Protein backbone atom coordinates (compact mmCIF):
# COMPACT_ATOMS: atom_id res chain seq x y z
CA UNK A 1 0.00 0.00 0.00
CA UNK A 2 2.83 2.42 0.85
CA UNK A 3 4.43 1.88 -2.55
CA UNK A 4 1.11 2.73 -4.23
CA UNK A 5 1.11 6.10 -2.44
CA UNK A 6 4.73 6.73 -3.46
CA UNK A 7 3.83 6.09 -7.11
CA UNK A 8 0.80 8.39 -6.84
CA UNK A 9 2.96 11.08 -5.21
CA UNK A 10 5.56 10.83 -7.98
CA UNK A 11 2.79 11.07 -10.56
CA UNK A 12 1.37 14.18 -8.86
CA UNK A 13 4.81 15.79 -8.66
CA UNK A 14 5.54 15.11 -12.34
CA UNK A 15 2.10 16.36 -13.40
CA UNK A 16 2.57 19.54 -11.37
CA UNK A 17 6.01 20.07 -12.91
CA UNK A 18 4.61 19.61 -16.43
CA UNK A 19 1.84 22.11 -15.66
CA UNK A 20 4.48 24.61 -14.54
CA UNK A 21 6.43 24.14 -17.78
CA UNK A 22 3.24 24.69 -19.80
CA UNK A 23 2.51 27.85 -17.80
CA UNK A 24 6.00 29.21 -18.51
CA UNK A 25 5.42 28.62 -22.22
CA UNK A 26 2.11 30.51 -22.08
CA UNK A 27 3.47 33.39 -20.00
CA UNK A 28 6.76 33.84 -21.86
CA UNK A 29 5.85 32.77 -25.40
CA UNK A 30 8.01 34.69 -27.84
CA UNK A 31 10.56 35.74 -25.19
CA UNK A 32 13.22 33.09 -25.67
CA UNK A 33 15.57 34.36 -22.95
CA UNK A 34 12.95 34.62 -20.21
CA UNK A 35 11.37 31.31 -21.22
CA UNK A 36 14.73 29.53 -21.05
CA UNK A 37 15.58 31.15 -17.70
CA UNK A 38 12.19 30.28 -16.17
CA UNK A 39 12.42 26.68 -17.34
CA UNK A 40 15.98 26.39 -16.08
CA UNK A 41 14.91 27.74 -12.68
CA UNK A 42 11.97 25.31 -12.58
CA UNK A 43 14.26 22.40 -13.44
CA UNK A 44 16.83 23.38 -10.78
CA UNK A 45 14.09 23.71 -8.16
CA UNK A 46 12.62 20.35 -9.18
CA UNK A 47 16.02 18.67 -8.94
CA UNK A 48 16.77 20.31 -5.57
CA UNK A 49 13.56 18.92 -4.07
CA UNK A 50 13.92 15.35 -5.40
CA UNK A 51 14.90 14.07 -1.96
CA UNK A 52 11.68 15.20 -0.28
CA UNK A 53 9.94 12.18 1.23
CA UNK A 54 6.70 11.19 -0.54
CA UNK A 55 3.52 11.74 1.42
CA UNK A 56 4.99 14.32 3.81
CA UNK A 57 3.71 17.78 4.62
CA UNK A 58 6.87 19.17 3.03
CA UNK A 59 5.99 17.52 -0.27
CA UNK A 60 2.38 18.65 -0.03
CA UNK A 61 3.49 22.24 0.65
CA UNK A 62 5.92 22.13 -2.28
CA UNK A 63 3.22 20.88 -4.66
CA UNK A 64 0.81 23.59 -3.47
CA UNK A 65 3.51 26.24 -3.95
CA UNK A 66 4.22 25.12 -7.52
CA UNK A 67 0.48 25.04 -8.27
CA UNK A 68 0.19 28.62 -6.97
CA UNK A 69 3.12 29.76 -9.10
CA UNK A 70 1.60 27.99 -12.11
CA UNK A 71 -1.71 29.77 -11.58
CA UNK A 72 -0.03 33.17 -11.28
CA UNK A 73 2.08 32.60 -14.41
CA UNK A 74 -0.88 31.38 -16.43
CA UNK A 75 -3.44 33.97 -15.32
CA UNK A 76 -1.61 37.07 -14.10
CA UNK A 77 1.66 37.47 -16.01
CA UNK A 78 1.31 39.49 -19.19
CA UNK A 79 4.32 40.54 -21.21
CA UNK A 80 4.43 43.57 -23.43
CA UNK A 81 6.56 44.61 -26.38
CA UNK A 82 7.51 48.23 -26.92
CA UNK A 83 5.89 49.65 -30.04
CA UNK A 84 7.48 52.61 -31.82
CA UNK A 85 9.06 55.67 -30.24
CA UNK A 86 6.41 56.54 -27.68
CA UNK A 87 5.23 54.77 -24.59
CA UNK A 88 3.05 52.27 -26.40
CA UNK A 89 3.25 48.55 -25.70
CA UNK A 90 1.55 45.57 -27.30
CA UNK A 91 0.43 43.26 -24.50
CA UNK A 92 0.39 39.50 -24.88
CA UNK A 93 -3.08 38.90 -23.44
CA UNK A 94 -4.09 35.30 -24.05
CA UNK A 95 -7.09 33.08 -23.40
CA UNK A 96 -5.86 32.19 -19.88
CA UNK A 97 -5.29 35.79 -18.76
CA UNK A 98 -7.52 36.65 -15.83
CA UNK A 99 -9.77 39.53 -16.73
CA UNK A 100 -11.09 41.34 -13.72
CA UNK A 101 -13.45 44.24 -13.63
CA UNK A 102 -12.47 47.74 -12.60
CA UNK A 103 -14.55 47.53 -9.43
CA UNK A 104 -12.06 45.07 -7.96
CA UNK A 105 -9.20 47.45 -8.72
CA UNK A 106 -11.12 50.40 -7.26
CA UNK A 107 -11.70 48.50 -4.01
CA UNK A 108 -7.95 47.99 -3.69
CA UNK A 109 -7.17 51.64 -4.43
CA UNK A 110 -5.49 53.24 -1.45
CA UNK A 111 -5.19 49.98 0.46
CA UNK A 112 -1.90 48.35 1.30
CA UNK A 113 -1.71 44.58 1.43
CA UNK A 114 1.22 42.26 1.53
CA UNK A 115 1.66 39.64 -1.18
CA UNK A 116 1.00 36.96 1.45
CA UNK A 117 -2.38 38.53 2.34
CA UNK A 118 -3.40 38.68 -1.30
CA UNK A 119 -2.18 35.13 -1.97
CA UNK A 120 -3.97 33.73 1.09
CA UNK A 121 -7.19 35.44 0.04
CA UNK A 122 -7.10 33.90 -3.44
CA UNK A 123 -5.79 30.40 -2.81
Structure confidence by residue, pLDDT tens digits, 47-104: 988 888 888 898 888 899 999 999 999 988 888 888 888 888 888 888 888 877 666 6
Q: Is the pLDDT of residue 123 over 50?
A: no
pTM passes above 0.85? no
Confidence bin at 1 (pLDDT 50/70/90)? very low
Residue 48 class from Cβ within 10 Å (0-12 exposed, 13-18 middle, 19+ buried)? exposed
For residues 93 and 23, the answer to whether their CB atoms sit within 8 Å is no
Alpha helices per DSSP H over 1-123: 2-27, 32-48, 57-76, 102-108, 115-122
Question: How many other C-beta atoms lie within 10 A of the C-beta of residue 23?
Answer: 23
Domain extent listing, the chain: 2-102
Q: Which pLDDT does position 109 carry in this prediction?
A: 60
Report CA torsion sign: 62, 59, 98, 73. Answer: positive
User: Which of helix, strand or coil describes residue 112?
Assistant: coil
Question: How many other C-beta atoms lie within 10 A of the C-beta of residue 3?
Answer: 8
80 strand-pairing partners: 91
Amino acid sequence: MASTFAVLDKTAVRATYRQLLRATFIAFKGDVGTLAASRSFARESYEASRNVEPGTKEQDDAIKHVQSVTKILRENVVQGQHQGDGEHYKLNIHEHTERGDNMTAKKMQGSVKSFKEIKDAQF
